[in-house]
Structure 1
Amino acid sequence: MGDRPRRIAHLDMDAFYASVELLRYPELRGQPVVIGGGRNAVPETLPDGTRRFARLRDYVGRGVVTTSTYEARALGVFSAMGMMKAAQLAPDAFLLPTDFDAYRHYSRLFKDAVHTFTDRIEDRGIDEIYVDLTDLEGESRALGSRIKAAVRQATGLTCSIAIAPNKLLAKIGSELDKPDGLTILAMADLESRIWPLAAKKVNGIGPRASERLDSIGIYTVGDLAAADLGLLQEHFGRKYAAWLARIARGLDERVVVVSSEPKSMSRETTFERDMHVLKDRAVLTPALTALCERLAGDLARKGYSGRTVGVKIKFADFKVVTRDLSLPEALADAASIRRAAGACLKRVLLDRRIRLIGVRVSALERAIESKSLAVPTQGLLPFDC
C-alpha cells in the first residue's frame, strides 16, 4: 500500500431486518415496526387485497425484539428487549415475524455490490463490513457516495458509512449520522466528534466496564482521554487500562482481515414458554431436528464441514449447559449432525424446564466431499423419539 495514509470504511446497513421487511410491506414505511414475532405475526391478506398486521399489544410470550424501525426506537424499543416490555412502551407498533432467508439474501446483495469496488473487505456479520479503501483512487466523500449508491441500487436499502484512518474510528463514525449517513473522520476530528460521546459508544466497552467507569467519574471518551493511567490500572488492570488509553486517543492499528475462516457455526432457538422435557416432547424434538437441518444448510452454503458437534441447553433458571462430541471424520449433513447432537444430549441431566436449545458444529474445515458418518442412533431421550 506504499506510503498512502490508511482509509478504512465501516459500512452498516440501516435497521437492516426492518428495512428488508419494509421492502415487502411498503405501507408500513414511517410507522413503528417491531421484528421478532412468531407465526401469529404473519400479515393477513384481506379480500380487497389490503393487509392486516398484528400489533405489539396483542403479543403474548417470552420472545425478544430482533430489531425495530427508527420510529419504534424513538418510543424506546430496541433489539434484545423483551417483547412484553416493548409492548408496554409501544402497544400500537406493528409486529412482523423474522425471515432470516430474506435477510441473508439481501446481505449477499449488498456485499456483492461493494465487491465491485474492492476485494479488501472484512465481513463482520449479516449487516456490516469493514472496507480498506487505501489503494482506491478518489476523494473519500465521493468514493463513499458511490459505494452507498451501489448498495442502494443493488438492494433498495440505505446504509451508513464512515471513512476514517482506522477501524476504531470508522466503527464509531458509522453511527454518528444514521440513517443513510456518510461520515468522514480524521484524527483532527477526535476532540470535536469523538470525545463528547459516552464511553460506552466505543466497541469493546461493555455494560460492566461502563458502570465501573461511571463509578470513578469517567462518562465520556474525552473523560477517558484525560484520565490518569494509574487510576485506570487500579480499576481495570494493566492490559485493559492501556487499551482504554489508546482508544481514547483514537489509536488502532488493526488491519482489515480480508479472509478469515470461521471457527464454528451454530443455530439456536428460544421458546416462547419454558418447555417440559416430557410433556412438550412433540415440540422439542422437531425443534432440535429443524435446528440441525438449518445448520446443515448454513454449512453447505458456505462450503464447510466440522469434526465437533455440540448442544446448548438453557434451563428456565437461566443455567446454561453445553456438551460436545468430537468425531473421527468431518460431517456436514443434517442426519449426521442430528445423531451427534442426540449423543450429546444423553450426557445432559434434563431435570428442569427448557428455555432454549442450540446446536453447534466446530473444528471446521473446507468440505471437499460430503461424507456420512456412522454415528450410532441414539436411544430414547426424554424429549426425543
Structure 2
Amino acid sequence: MIKDMKIACLLITHLGIKDEMRRRPDLVGRNIILYRPDSGARSAKTLGRSIKSVVFDVSSGVSGIPGGMPLSAALSKSPDSIVLQADLERYRKVFARIMSDLRRIAPAVQGAGLGKVFVDMTGLEYMYGGEAKVVTRMLETAPSLFHPRVGIAKGKFPAYVAALSSDPGRATKIPDNPTGTADFLASFPVDVLPVGWQMIMELHRFAIHTLGELAAQDLGNLQTRFGPGGRKSWELARGIDPDRVIELKKNDVVDEYVTLPFASASREVLFTAVDALLRRAYTRPGLKGKYALKFLLKCTVVGSTPWSREIVIKEAAASASAASFSIRSVLSDIELPGLIEDVALSVSGFMGEHGVQARAFTDVREQIQDRLNRLAKVDRHLQAKTGGRKSLYRVVEVDPIHPVPEMRFVQVPVDPLSVESVRSINMPEEVKVGESKGIPVSVALPGKGSVPVRARAVDMWKMDLWWMHRPVRRVYYVLKLDGSGPLTVFRDTLGERGLITEKHRETAVTGHRWYRQDY
C-alpha cells in the first residue's frame, strides 16, 4: 500500500429507494420494492415468452428479498409492499450530480457503482482546515434524506467497509497503524468483498465466513481453489489495497440534472428548472469565467419518448442570467409533448473571455444575477453560523390556479451550490384524525403533544383528478377547533377499495390517511 495515501468512500445505500422517497414524501416509512426487467429479457422476448421482472432493491423494512429475486416471488414474501419500477437512468443522473459536487472539493473522484464513490483525501485537510471539515463538505453533497456516510482508510476497500460501518450522516476512520486495518476488517462477513456471489457461496461452504477467517487461510490453497480472485480477496481481507483513485478524463461539457417535484407540462416549470441548472453550471470550474454557445436540454416524458432540444445561441453567454434569457427567447412558444418529470442540461461550446467583446454597461439581467449572488453569499454565511444545510429560497409561481395546492408554487434555493433542488411548497402533513361516520370530530396536531382536540366540520368538498399521471382523490374538510382558528384537512381516498385501477396500482399508496394543508 502506498505510504501516506488516504482515501475516503462516500456511500449512499439504497439510493434508488431514497430518491423515490424524496420525490414522493408519502412513501417515507413504507415498505418498497423496486424492480427492473430481467437481464435475460431480450432473449426471453425472442423466444416468445413473457418478460419477467426481478428485484432491483428493497427498502430497509423489507427482509429476505435479495436483488435479482423474481418479482412474483418477492411479492409472495411481502405482499403489502409498494411496487415501483426502478428508474435506473434517473438514479444515475442523481448520483452524477453528487459526484459533480464532490469534484468541487477534491481533484480526484472516482465512481464505483451506483451510490459508491471514492475520493483521494491526500492533502485536502490542509486546504480546508482539517479532516473533519473535508468530511462535512463531502456529506453535504448529498440530500439529507439520502443518509450518506463516509469511511476513511489507506485503501479503497477498507474505506468502503468503514463507510458501511458508519451511522447515517457520520464518518468512520480506520486507525492508521500497521495492524489497524486488518483488525478493523476481521469481523466483517466475506459478503462485502467485491467478488461474484459464486465465490462468496464457496467461501461460506468452506466455513470461511468473515474477513478475519479469510486472512488466516493459506494463500497457496486459496489461489489453487479460486485463482487470481483468491489472492485478491486474501489481500483485501488483510487490508492490502494499493489501487489509487483514478479520475476519468473530463470532456469540455458541463452536465447538470434536477428531478421535478411533480410531473408537469408547464413551460414555467421547465424554465424554473433550467434557471436553477444554469446557475449551478456557471459555478462549475469547467465553465466559471468562460462563455458558452451550446445548450442541450433533455426531459423524461411520462408515457412517451424523451424530449430534447439543442439550442445554439448567437452571442455566447457569460452568465447564467444571459443564458437563461437566450433559452427562454428560443423556447417562448414551445409546447411540451407531455408531462415532464426531470430536466437534464448539458452546456458546451466554451470560449475564453478574449473571444467576445466586453460590454460597457451592465444590463438588468446582470444586476439581478449580481443580487442573487450576494444573497447566495448571505445564505452560506447563515448556514455556517447556524449549522444548517439550507435557509434562503425563492418562491416561483408556476400554476396559481392548479386545483392541487402543492402544485401551484415551487421553491428554489438561492444558493446554486445547495444540494436541495426545485421543491414543492405547501406539502400535506399527516395528522391523526378521529372520525364519527366518516366525519372528523377530533384532530391531533404534530408538535402539540399529539393530544386530540375536538373539531367540528363547517365545510366539505371533494377532489377527483383521475386523469392525472398520479391520480388525486381527496375529501377536504374545514374544521373549527376548540380554542383555535379553522384548519383544513383532507382524507386521501385513492387507496380505498375499488378506487385504484390496474394502470395506477404501481404508483398508488394504499391506506386510509388524513393530512392537513393550507388551501
What band does the TM-score fall into relative to the shorter chain? 0.5 to 0.7
Q: Which residue identity lines up with residue 19 of structure 1 in the other structure?
A: K
Instruction: Give the aligned CA root-mean-square deviation in angstroms.
Output: 3.3
1:159 aligns with 2:158: no
Larger helix percent: 1
Cα 1:178–1:15 change in 2 (3 A) is farther
Q: Residues of 2 paired with 1:161 and 1:246: CA distance?
A: 22
Structure 1 position 102, deviation (Å)? 3.1
Q: Determine if contact 1:141/1:184 at 8 Å carries over to the other structure.
A: no
- In structure 1, the partner of 2:119 is 131
- In structure 2, the partner of 1:109 is 97
Structure 1 position 9, deviation (Å)? 1.1
Structure 1 position 192, deviation (Å)? 4.2
- In structure 2, the partner of 1:35 is 34
- In structure 1, the partner of 2:107 is 119
1:82 aligns with 2:70: yes
Q: Residues of 2 paired with 1:37 and 1:227: CA distance?
A: 39
Q: Which residue identity lines up with residue 140 of structure 1 in the other structure?
A: E
- In structure 1, the partner of 2:202 is 212
Structure 1 position 4, deviation (Å)? 7.2
Cα 1:37–1:218 change in 2 (3 A) is closer
Larger Rg: 2
Q: Residues of 2 paired with 1:92 and 1:175: CA distance?
A: 29
Structure 2: runs of 5 or more not aligned: 38-49, 252-304, 311-348, 350-519
Sequence identity percentage: 22
Q: Determine if contact 1:165/1:186 at 8 Å carries over to the other structure.
A: no
Structure 1 position 6, deviation (Å)? 1.5
- In structure 1, the partner of 2:9 is 10
Cα 1:234–1:167 change in 2 (3 A) is same
Q: Residues of 2 paired with 1:101 and 1:243: CA distance?
A: 32
| DSSP 3-state at the match of 2:55 | coil
Structure 1 position 191, deviation (Å)? 4.7
Q: Determine if contact 2:34/2:84 at 8 Å carries over to the other structure.
A: yes
Cα 1:147–1:194 change in 2 (3 A) is same
- In structure 2, the partner of 1:361 is none
Q: Which residue identity lines up with residue 174 of structure 2 in the other structure?
A: L
Matched length? 240
Structure 1 position 181, deviation (Å)? 4.5
Counterparts of 1:170-319 in structure 2, within 5 Å, are: 170-177=159-166, 179-186=168-175, 188-204=179-195, 206-237=196-227, 239-259=228-248
Structure 1 position 178, deviation (Å)? 5.5
Structure 1: runs of 5 or more not aligned: 39-59, 263-292, 301-367, 369-385
Structure 1 position 220, deviation (Å)? 1.4
Q: Which residue identity lines up with residue 176 of structure 1 in the other structure?
A: S
Q: Residues of 2 paired with 1:101 and 1:210: CA distance?
A: 29
- In structure 2, the partner of 1:71 is 61
Cα 1:37–1:233 change in 2 (3 A) is closer
- Superposed CA deviations along residues 307-332 of structure 1, whole A, max 9, x for unmatched, are xxxxxxxxxxxxxxxxxxxxxxxxxx
The higher-RCO structure (CA 8 Å, 6+ apart) is 1
- In structure 2, the partner of 1:303 is none
Q: Residues of 2 paired with 1:245 and 1:14: CA distance?
A: 25
| DSSP 3-state at the match of 2:202 | helix
Q: Determine if contact 1:36/1:66 at 8 Å carries over to the other structure.
A: yes
Structure 1 position 257, deviation (Å)? 0.8
Structure 1 position 208, deviation (Å)? 2.3
| DSSP 3-state at the match of 1:67 | strand
Q: Residues of 1 paired with 2:73 and 2:203: CA distance?
A: 28
Q: Determine if contact 2:182/2:238 at 8 Å carries over to the other structure.
A: no
Q: Residues of 1 paired with 2:86 and 2:239: CA distance?
A: 37
